[in-house]
Amino acid sequence: MTLRIGFLGYGMMARAHAHALNRLPLFFPETPETERTIVAGRDPDGVADAAERLGFRRWTTHWRDVVQAVDVLYVLTPPTAHREPTVAALESGVHVLCEKPLAVSVRDADRMAEAAADSDAVAGCGFNYRFLPAVQLLERLVQEGELGTIRHVRGQFLQNWQAEPSDPWTWRNDADVAGAGRVADAGSHSIDLARWLAGPIESVSGQLTTTVDERPVAGTDERRTVTTDDAYSALVRFSSGARGVFDGSRVATGHTNTNTIEVVGSKGTARFHCERLNELEVMREGDRGFQSISVTDPDDPYVDRWWPPGHGLGWEHSVVHENYEFLGSIRDDEPFDPGFETGLAVARVVDAIRRSDETGRRISIR
């Protein structure tokens, strides 16, 4: 079986997925073989160049060309362009890996989840952080009851790439294209990890801020209005009774990539920090302090495929492992987790945070 792969989009995540496909044969040889068949993008020159760089045989400017030509579709465009091709692909039996956030709105996400439910194809949502060894170990600890009953979850995703008012406008500042801002972009990662570790979220209170109202458009004299939030925070109640606090920003001076998740349970606590992604800090019964664990032992998730203890992995490995699992699901004809139901559930939480910000009320999530 050689799976024909098509990409929509050729930005940074396209590079990350192409790279992942490059690496699977040596490190995960049991992965199905793939062929990079066709890539689509709006700009003919850009996409032609990307096809060459990323190893695609052909390129197009029409997404339908891709859907028709492949077994697996990677949807790597801004959220506003996710729904249509994804639904078309799933209806044609084409497998889909769609980047997060799943859609620009709950309505779109709902439609996509419905299409996934009705299709025999595998549908995955790109919450890649799950696939880091340290995050996998964290989930394993929770599953095995090492932390006891979960009491609190804390998720931060602080960055500084728009900390300066002079940092240029991007499509992520446009509500029509991105849906929401930081709450969607980074918040969706935090919410996915929290739900994965602590179960469904029942209600939220949230607040959003737009710290910088307009930004220059790179290479022009234009200044464009920012219509999304650039920072958010939220209080969360899980169905289990646990509580959570979330916090995200693009304007957090000093924070290059503070993507952290902490799970406090009745028996122990564990926390992950993405800037030290080979480590997990864990405190269990009998411990007197947090153990700083180097998650690089052969017994740790995925690690036996790579290097000896202490020879850490990088961010990109999350995407390699995600591709390994996703393509394995296709081979085995099994659902992939996180799927579109997860993408939809996260979209509902994101939407509830926005509505809470507008109304000043705690919002229940159905």
Segment 99-128, which members bind a second copy (CB under 8 A)?
none
Residues 56, 37 contacting (CB under 8 angstroms)? yes
C-beta closer to a second copy: residue 37 or 258: 258
265: part of which helix (H) or strand (E)?
strand 258-265
Q: How far apart are CA 351 and CA 108, in angstroms?
A: 12
CA triple 119-122-127, angle to 5 deg: 125
Among 5, 8, 16, 115, binds a second copy (CB under 8 A): 16
Least spacing, CB of residue 345 vs a second copy, in Å = 20
Tell which one of 293, 325, 328, 331 touches a second copy (CB under 8 A).
293
| 239: contact with a second copy by CB under 8 A | no
Contact 226, 211 (CB under 8 A): no
Stretch that binds a second copy, among 106-114, 215-223, 330-338, 356-364 (CB under 8 A): 356-364
Q: Under the criterion CB under 8 A, does residue 277 sit at the interface with a second copy?
A: yes
**Whole-angstrom distance, CA of residue 188 vs CA of residue 209:** 17
Asked if residue 209 lies in contact with residue 228, where contact means CB atoms within 8 angstroms, the answer is: no
In angstroms, give the least distance from the CB of 19 to a second copy. 6
**227 makes contact with a second copy (CB under 8 A):** no
Alpha-carbon span 143 to 206, nearest angstrom: 29
Q: Does 210 bind a second copy (CB under 8 A)?
A: no
- Cα–Cα distances in angstroms (integers) from residue 157 to residues 40, 232, 258, 261, 294, in the given order: 31, 10, 5, 9, 22
The radius of gyration of the chain's CA atoms, rounded to the nearest angstrom, is: 20
Eight-class DSSP state of 99: P
- Which range touches a second copy (CB under 8 A), out of 64-72, 75-83, 287-295, 343-351? 287-295
Does position 235 bind a second copy by CB under 8 A? yes
Residues 160-199 that bind a second copy (CB under 8 A): 161, 163
Among 31, 159, 170, 188, the residue binding a second copy under the rule CB under 8 A is: 159
**227 burial level (CB within 10 Å; 0-12, 13-18, 19+):** middle
Among 14-22, 57-65, 94-102, 117-125, the segment contacting a second copy (CB under 8 A): 14-22
Candidates 17-25, 40-48, 138-146, 324-332; binding stretch for a second copy (CB under 8 A) = 17-25
Please pick, from the candidates 274, 303, 347, 352, the single residue that binds a second copy as defined by CB under 8 A: 274
CB of residue 293 to a second copy, shortest distance in Å? 4
Q: Tell how strand 243-249 and strand 231-238 pair up.
A: antiparallel
